[in-house]
Chain A
Amino acid sequence: MIVKRTKLNFWERLYLPAVAAGIMVTVRHFFKKKVTMQYPEEKWTVPEGYRGAPYLVKDPEGRTKCVSCQLCEFICPPKAIRITPPGPAGSPEAGNVEKAPHEFKIDMLRCIFCGLCQEVCPEEAIFLMKDYSLTGLSREEMVYDKTKLLAMGGVHNDQIWKWKHK
């Protein structure tokens, strides 16, 4: 495509109209309301469906929903999840329930918040929540273990009480 370059007339070549327009634009913006968000004090409202940090959830009876199937561990693209299953003996506190994990670790420095773990989970035990500002003073601190993940995840109030009568 050939764009015809129009010849500027004398008035335009004088720059003065452009200067006046420039002054008007800058003055208008100078007095405009500012859009800056003062971050640590003011925070952004996280929208629904946001993919933040993945946490483990409990069912309304306070049981760990995870059954150590390790699908999330296998699908995790950056290999951030590491699950230690309870072994043949099973977990003593889990009772007559399917095998709750012995240990469940997510390295939040590796996690890319893709949400595949949530998608693949057959038990709806792991969810990407709204936390986006994860901080720590060491690499070790950024590896969240089962206790921490469950504490952060809280209770998931769904209607399916899978283990109620077992």
Chain B
Amino acid sequence: MDFFHHLSPTQQFLLASAIKVVCVFAVVMPAVAYSVLAERKVSAMIQDRIGPNRVGFFGIWQPLADGIKTFLKEDFVPAHVRKAYFWLAPMVSMTPALMVLAVIPFGSQLGGEKMVIADLDVGILYTFGIVSLGVYGIVLAGYASNSKYPFLGGIRSSAQMISYEIAMGMSVIPVFLIVGKLNLSQVIQYQAEHGWLVLYAPLSFIIFVIAAFAETNRLPFDLPESEQELVGGYHTEYSSMKFALFFMGEYANMIAASAMMVTLFLGGWTLPVGGLDRPAESIGMGVAHIVIFMVKVAVLMGMFIWVRWMWPRFRYDQLMDLGWRRFLPLALVNIVATAVWLWMVD
């Protein structure tokens, strides 16, 4: 650590941030790969099958085999596509999901270093700004593919994402009314002191969860994809690694959404037992906090996966109806109710 203390503060900051970025990336990418495996296993179990079990025990190396397969596949670009956008779309859909993770506090402290890549004071605004960029990947893919099914997928995606973005944004306002800060670390701090926010704003949590399903294009809201009607929707024309990027983007988005839910409503890295709700002093406690965070995220990922194999897809008009005529008014009422309640308590 001596070498670290000799650096100037800027250098220290840069080095620490770089290490954190690499570590988060190194954890998230395998997590994406293994949530795909988990998805396949859970779906198989629910459908009375066994699922992948050939590559290693319990199919443990299946993600590796899938990765090698997608890299070796022919990267086919149809002649009729708009090339530049066709190349751009997979990148645009993958990147925002990873960028959201930059503001998530995934642990308290480790050797005096805060376990968050960027401790922004406007964390939540940044998140919503970045998350809404994700829709461009899908819309671009639909536009660039220059064929009808991807185009329909793109249209659906834009309409769906916009309507649920609003409900989602409205649903978290009560959280910040209660906490009084936009910084995600402060939100967790508040929850450590007063208990999880899901207890204060259950309606917000429910709306946020449902909107998160719509945002990540997961069933029951996977209308941009709809294998049965749109033959895969926006990624119909994609193959090989470009398709894999969309696929990974979806799972990375799920992880980001789960991490957001954990941070905003489920206490982040805290646990109200055994002094785990204070910033860690020792390395062991710091690691424990990170593990707690990851377990919470994994539980929510499990929920995402389970719901996909449990629920049929909504019809498109039902989806829009639910977004605009149910959740938006509900979220607005929730804001007013929370504000009134806070005013009365005051």
Contact = CB atoms under 8 A, between A and B. Distances in A.
A35 interface: yes
Contacts of A25: 310
B310 A36 contact: no
Contact of A34 (B42, B50, B306): B50
A138 interface: no
**Contact-residue size bin, chain A (C-beta under 8 Å from the other chain):** 10 to 19
A34 B48 contact: yes
B18 interface: no
A23 interface: yes
A30 B50 contact: no
B310 A29 contact: no
A30 to B, nearest CB: 5
B49 A34 contact: yes
Contacts of B44: 36
A31 to B, nearest CB: 8
B306 A26 contact: yes
B310 A30 contact: no
A164 interface: no
Contacts of A33: 48
Contacts of A29: 45-48
Contacts of A30: 42, 45-46
A126 B140 CA distance: 62
B51 to A, nearest CB: 8
Contact of A36 (B49, B306, B309): B49
B311 interface: yes
Contacts of B310: 22-23, 25-26
B309 A26 contact: yes
B49 A35 contact: yes
Contacts of B49: 34-36
Contacts of A22: 310-311
A30 B310 CA distance: 11
11 contacts: A22-B311, A23-B310, A25-B310, A26-B306, A29-B45, A29-B48, A33-B48, A34-B48, A34-B50, A35-B49, A36-B44
